[in-house]
Chain A
Amino acid sequence: MATYDLHLNGVARTVDSSDPDKPLLYVLRGLGLTATKFGCGLGQCGACTVLVEGSALRSCQLTIADARGKRVTTLEGLGTASSPHPIQAAFIKEQVPQCGYCTSGMIMTTAALLAEKPKPTEPEIRAALDGNLCRCGTHVRVVRAVLAASGQGG
C-alpha cells in the first residue's frame, strides 16, 4: 500500500492507497470530506470541483498520484457554518442553493476566479462558471452571490 502526502485544507495529511489511479474525489469523500460531490465522474458537471494549488480542478479527473504533494482545498477548508468564507457568506445571504448538490463546486470555482480576478464582470463570472451545471435553476442567484462576494453587490 503506497502512501501519499497531501496538504489538505491547510493540514498535512498522509493517505494510503493501493491504487495510484484512485480519483481524488473518492479519497476526499473517504476522509469524510463529503461536501465534494460525485456528479458524473467524467469532468462534465463541476460538482466535484476542488482547489489544487489554487486552481479549480475536477477531483473526479485527478488521481491520488496526481495530487501527491499538492495543496488541496475543499469546501470544508474555506470556512465553517459559524465562520464562513466571504464567498460562502454571500451564497448563504443570497440563499443560492435549492437541492444544493452543485453548490460546493460552484463555490470552489468562484474561489479560484476571485483569487485570479477580484472584480470580475458579469460575463466573466458566467464564463468562469459555464462548466458548472445546476439542474434546479439557481444560476441568477449564483451570479448575484459572486458579484456580492467580490464587493460588487447592488
Chain B
Amino acid sequence: MSAVDRTSLDRRTVLKAGVLTVGFALGGIQTEVLAQASGAPRMLDPKEVDAFLTVNGDGTVTLFTGKVDLGQGLRIAMRQIAAEELGIGIDKINYVEGDTSLTPDQGRTSGSAGIARGGMQIRQAAATARKALIELAAKRLDARAQDLFAENGLVRPKGGGAGLAFAELVNGERFGLKLDPKAPLKDPSTYTLVGKPLPRPDVVHKCTGSGGYMFMHDFSVPGMLHARVIRPLAVGARLVSVDEALIAQFAGTQVVRIKDFLAVVAQNEWTAVKAARAIRAQWTAGSGLPDQGRLPQTLRTDPGTTEERLVNKGTPTENPPSNAKVLNATYYWPMQSHASLGPSCAVADVNADGATVWTASQGTHGNRATYARFLGLSPEKVRLIYLEGAGCYGMNGHEDAAAEAAILSRAVGRPVRVQWSREEEHGWDPKGPPQLIDITAAVAPDGRIVQWRTDLWLPQTTKGMPNIPLLAPEAAGLDQVRGINAGLISQNGDPPYAADNVAVVVHWLKSTPLRPAPLRSPGKPANCFAVESFVDELAAAAGIDAVEFRLRGLTDPRGIEVIKRAAALMNWQTRPSPRNDASASVARGRGFAYVHYKHNETYVAMGIEAAVERESGRIKVERVVCAHDCGQIINPDGVRAQVEGSTLQTLSRVLMEEVEFDRARVLSVDWASYPILRFSDVPELTIELIDRPAEPPLGAGEAACTTVGAALANAVFDATGARLRSVPFTPERVKAALNARSG
C-alpha cells in the first residue's frame, strides 16, 4: 500500500517531495489531502485496482477517479458504487477526483458516460478488491472463501464469528491486481446503497458557503497574481500595437504580450479589471464571419464538404409505392453558447519544477499532453488538478482560461489566476455548431415508413484531436494540435422505428464560423428535433395519432414502455394532429417525442403541453412529462436532477438561444443579448424514472435533452397546424409560421 496521509479537512497546501498537493473538505464525507510522503508515484494505470482504491490504516478507503463531478453528482454515485461492491460504509470512502498525479485516466467526463463507463471500472475494481480481501481472510481464518463475506469494512464468516478488518488484511500493502472482469459482482437484489437517493456531499457547502475552496473561482495559492486577457475586436484579428500609457496608474501591474496574446497581470482582481479596461490595443480587421442570416444556405452550398453514408438500409432511392405519401422538410439548429453562469477561471503555477494547473476542465488527463506541448515541458512535469467550476455542459472557456493562466504564470514567474468576464464567456467560449438537416420520407397509409433519407450538414471532427484547440496557444504562436472537435454529433439521424429503406448521409464541413465544441448531448438535440418532428409530420400526413404511430413502428419493449408511461402521465387522448383550434386566441396543444439515445443507450419519451398566443407569437410551455429508462439507477435523486436539468436547459436552447454575430465578431455577449430560461418560463415537470437494477447503468446527463425540441414543435403544430422547423422558437418565428399556415 502506498502511504496516504489524511490531514485536517480545511483546505491547505502541502509541499512534500516536490509535489504541491491541495485538499478541501466536501460535506460530511471527507476528501483527502494527499501528501506523497514516500515520494513514490501512485499507481495510475486504470487496469490496476491500486489505481482506484487504497485501503488506509484507519479503516477508511480512498477512491480515486479520473471522472469529475460537474454538478451531476458523481461524488455520491461513485461512492455508492464503490462502497456497495466493496462492502464498506459509505462514510468510510474518501474521494479524490481528476488529478493527473493521483487519479487514473478514465477519459474525459463527457458523453453521459461517467457512471456507464467510469463507474463500471470502479465497480470492477471494487469487486476485484473484495475478492482479494476475502481470499486473504480465508487464509488467515483457515476458512473457505465461499464461507466468508465482506460487510462494513470487515470480512466475516457467514456462519457468524469475528471478522478481519480490511486494513488488517492488506496491512499497508498494495493489491497488485489487475481489474478482474470475472470477479463476482454483488447481486443487485442485495444492494443497500446503490439505488438509494443519498444526498450529495457538496450540496451543504454550496448552500452555506462553508468548507473553503469548493469552487475553482474561489481557489488561491500564496503569491498569486490576478490576470485579465484582452480579446481582439474581431475573430482572427492580429495584434498591431498596444498603448500601455494608462496602465502606469496601476502600481505593480504588468502587461504581457506574446505575439497576438495580450493580458494584464495585477496584484489584485479589481486592479486587473481596471487595467484591462484602460489598455488600448489596435487590431487588424480579422478573418471575417459569414452572414448570419444566410448561414443555413452557406452550410448547404459549402464547396468543401465530403459525403459519408452513415446508415444504408434497403434501397432508399427506389420509387415509393404509389399509395405512399412523400414528404420532405428542412430543419435548422443555430450556433449556441454553453453560457455558463460563472465565467471561466483557472489558476496555474509554472516554475522551474514544472507546471501545476488548477482547472475546472472535464478532461484533466487528456489536457496534460496539450499543456506540456505548448509549455515546452515533458508531460510528467505537468500536473492538472480538477476543481469544480460553474456548470460547463460540454466545453466552455475553462480550458482556455487554464492555458492562459499557465502561459501567464510562465511569463511573470508567479502563480496566476485568470478570470474571464461575462463578455468573454459569451463571446469566446467554443460554440455548439450550427446544424442543417434535410429529411425526405414516404409513409404508407397504414403508417409504415417505406423510405427515409436524412442529410446532415455538420462540422467534421479532425481525427486524433486530443482536445479543442485553445485560444491562447493559437494567439501566442505556441505549438498545439490544430483542427476541430465538436463531439460525436451525427448520431440519431435515423428514425428509431421500423422503416424499410433508410439512408443517413452526412455532408462533413471542414469548418464552422466560430470554433466549435461539444455542447451537452452533442448534435443529438438537433438531429432528434428533426427526426421526431418529421415523424410527427408523417403521422399527421397519415392521419394517425402521434403516439400510436410511434408504437406501431417499435418492437423494443423498453422503448414501448417509456412511450406508454409518458402517454399515461399526460392522459394522452388518441387522435390525429393537428387539433388546430383556430377560434382560440390562445391555442393549446400537446406534442410527443421519443429517443433511444445513440440507438443503444438510454430510452426517453417526452410529452409537452404548450399554449401559443396567436397575436404575440409567444409560446408558453405549461407542462413537460418524461419517462426515462437509463437501466440500473445508482442514485435516483441524481438521475432526476439530471433529467430536470436536461429538460429545462434544452427548453431554454429551443425557445431562446442563438449566438448572434456580425461579419467580425459575436454580438450576443451578455444575458440581455443571449437570454436564457427564467423562473417565469419554467413549466410543471413530471418525471418518471424506470429503474432496472439487473440491467447495466446507462447515462442520464444527456438523453432527455434530445426530445425537447420535437416535443415542443409537435405541440405547437397540434395547437395551430403551424410547423416550426428552426430553433429558437422566437415569437417572430412562430408568427411567421402561423402566417404561412393561414396564407
Contact = CB atoms under 8 A, between A and B. Distances in A.
28 contacts: A44-B672, A47-B342, A75-B209, A76-B210, A79-B208, A81-B208, A81-B211, A95-B203, A96-B207, A97-B203, A99-B341, A100-B214, A100-B388, A101-B390, A101-B391, A133-B341, A133-B676, A133-B678, A135-B339, A135-B390, A135-B393, A136-B71, A136-B391, A137-B645, A137-B648, A140-B682, A142-B679, A143-B682
A22 interface: yes
A128 to B, nearest CB: 8
A96 B671 contact: no
A115 interface: no
Contacts of A147: none
B671 A26 contact: no
B679 A99 contact: no
Task: Give me the 8 closest cross-chain CB pairs, A-B, nearest first.
Answer: A35-B209, A137-B648, A100-B206, A99-B71, A99-B391, A98-B71, A137-B645, A34-B218
B341 A45 contact: yes
A136 B73 CA distance: 13
Nearest to A131: B678
Contacts of B670: 40, 42, 44
Contacts of A141: 641, 644
B71 A39 contact: no
Given A134-B341, A143-B679, A40 B210 contact: no
Band of interface residues on B: 35 or more
A99 B140 CA distance: 46
A120 B122 CA distance: 46
A100 B270 contact: no
Interface string A20-48: 00110010011001110111111011010
A19 B272 CA distance: 13
Most-contacted residue by chain B among A76, A100, A134 (CB, 10 A): A100
Most-contacted residue by chain B among A99, A101, A138 (CB, 10 A): A99
Nearest to A103: B206
Interface string B262-281: 00000011100110000000
Interface in B339-387: 339-343
Given A33-B209, A47-B342, A96-B207, A130 B679 contact: yes
A69 interface: no
Band of interface residues on A: 35 or more
B637 interface: yes
B205 to A, nearest CB: 6
A130 B678 contact: yes
B79 interface: no
A34 B340 contact: no
A91 B200 CA distance: 12
A49 interface: no
Interface string B36-78: 0000000000000000000000000000000000111100000
Contacts of B203: 91-92, 95-97, 100
A81 B645 contact: no
B680 A40 contact: no
Nearest to A17: B270
Contacts of B707: none
B644 A95 contact: no
B206 A129 contact: no
A70 interface: no
Interface in B157-211: 199-200, 202-211
B391 A80 contact: no
Contacts of A133: 341, 671, 676, 678
A39 B420 CA distance: 10
A139 B681 CA distance: 10
A76 B206 CA distance: 11
A74 interface: yes
Interface in A96-130: 96-104, 107, 125-127, 129-130
